[in-house]
């Protein structure tokens, strides 16, 4: 007579181990999927406290400086300008997004991203944007 093996208890995956149930690594905290894990969750902000407001403003200012510096760094090399040109082309900023179907909405989403990047480029680095157009867009 065959005996059944004892039922195994489900094991909790170790940190970094893939769960057999969901096929995904366990979440390191309770934040929803898609949240920015690089930024710590802030629960200590008090909009009524001048110090908290000043710290938040300084943090936003530093983040914006880093973002602009990154864009400048990307535009400072021919490879970076090529990459940006390809991204703007992929987003479809220079073509119509309308195709007569609901895909138009999808196309408009990509175009909106490209237009936002283009607006950033033209307002902050107009000379480098024109240089990119000359190199990649055939502007004389």
* Model pLDDT for residues 11-50, shown as the tens digit of each residue: 555 555 555 555 555 555 555 555 555 565 556 788 888 9
Residue 2's pLDDT is 61
* Residue 110, C-beta contacts closer than 8 angstroms, at least 6 positions apart: 90, 91, 92, 97
Residue 56's pLDDT is 94
Residue 75's pLDDT is 96
Share of the chain above pLDDT 70, in %: 69
Q: Name residues of the chain where pLDDT drops below 50.
A: none
Using CA of residue 97, residue 103, residue 108, residue 114, what is the dihedral sign? negative
Q: Which residue has the tokens 């149930």?
A: 21
């Amino acid at each position: 007579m065959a005996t059944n093996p004892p039922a195994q208890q489900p094991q909790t995956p170790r940190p970094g181990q893939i769960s057999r149930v969901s096929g995904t690594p366990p979440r390191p905290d309770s934040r929803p999927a898609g949240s920015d894990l690089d930024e710590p969750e802030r629960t200590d902000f008090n909009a009524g406290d001048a110090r908290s407001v000043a710290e938040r403003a300084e943090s936003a200012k530093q983040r914006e400086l880093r973002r602009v510096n990154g864009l400048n760094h990307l535009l400072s090399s021919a490879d970076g300008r090529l990459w940006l040109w390809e991204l703007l082309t992929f987003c479809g900023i220079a073509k119509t997004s309308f195709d007569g179907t609901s895909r138009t909405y999808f196309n408009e989403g990509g175009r909106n991203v490209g237009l936002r990047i283009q607006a950033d480029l033209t307002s902050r680095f107009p000379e480098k944007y024109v240089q990119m157009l000359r190199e990649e867009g055939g502007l004389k």
